[in-house]
Amino acid sequence: MRPLDQTITLVTGASSGIGRACAEVFAEAGSNIIAVARRSERLDELRATIEQRHGVRVLPLQCDVRDRDAVRRTLGQLPEGWRSIDIVINNAGLARGLAPIHEGSFEDWDEMIQTNLVGLLNVLRVVLPPMVERRRGMIINIGSIAGRQVYPNGNVYCATKHAVRAISEAMQLDLCGSGIRVTNIDPGMVETEFSLVRFHGNTERAASVYAGMTPLTGRDVAEVALFCATRPPHVSIHDVLVMPSDQASTTVVHRRT
């Protein structure tokens, strides 16, 4: 028996990076996967790969978590057999730009706030009531070390991730005794499409972020999430900070020349 056989795990931002790794790792553990993302072609490829490799079911759902009505329609009217969600991994998020506050882009700020904070709340508001009614389930919020330490020019991104951590802590209070566990995972530097998105497709600048050091992979973070999800029901891991060995803080990184 795999530890998550016959369960259902919903992953947002499942088309790449940490989200895709979570979908794969939780499928390996036997969970059926609801994969939510904006890019339908990547979801279709993910579904084919996971079902072939791991013999579980995958329900791909194209949805932008920023769109509250779309989230309500998509997650509030799941097909029969998919409605009893056991685990939710709130992973959808991004950084846009890296500028001092007085030079920041309103468009970048809005996208980060709407995705990282409002999008997470949109998903939680739809999926939590059935969990509370069933008195079981788990929420895993993927934050960032930026939710613990700010860094130069990270202002609004750091603010959104501080908010994610605060929401996780508030949920742990609100849901105490409900049978629902809440885990907040704050990764350090992870090599995904994160920096490519932050720098609006500038591949050279994105690559420089990880130059000379060994960052985490999406799978490293996904395996931490799986560990948290597979503890006995009476064990709740509230908060995890996972860092690459070459990183001590948001601003202290060892780089080999």
Distance CA 170, CA 120 (A): 14
**Residue burial 153-190, b: 16+ Cβ < 10 Å; e: rest:** ebbbbbbbbbbbbebbeebbeebeebebbbbbbbbbbb
Residue 141: partners with Cβ closer than 8 Å, 6 or more residues away: 90, 120, 164, 167, 168, 182, 183, 184, 185
Q: Which of 14, 78, 142, 157 is catalytic?
A: 157
Give the dihedral of Cα atoms 232, 238, 243, 245; nearest 10 deg.
-60
Distance CA 151, CA 107 (A): 20
- Which DSSP category does 177 fall into? T
**Beta-ladder partners of 253:** 247
**Beta-ladder partners of 140:** 89, 183
- Total H helices, total E strands in the chain: 9, 7
Distance CA 178, CA 181 (A): 8
DSSP H or E segment with residue 219: helix 218-229
Active site residue 157: yes
Tell me the Cα Rg of the chain: 18
Catalytic positions are 157
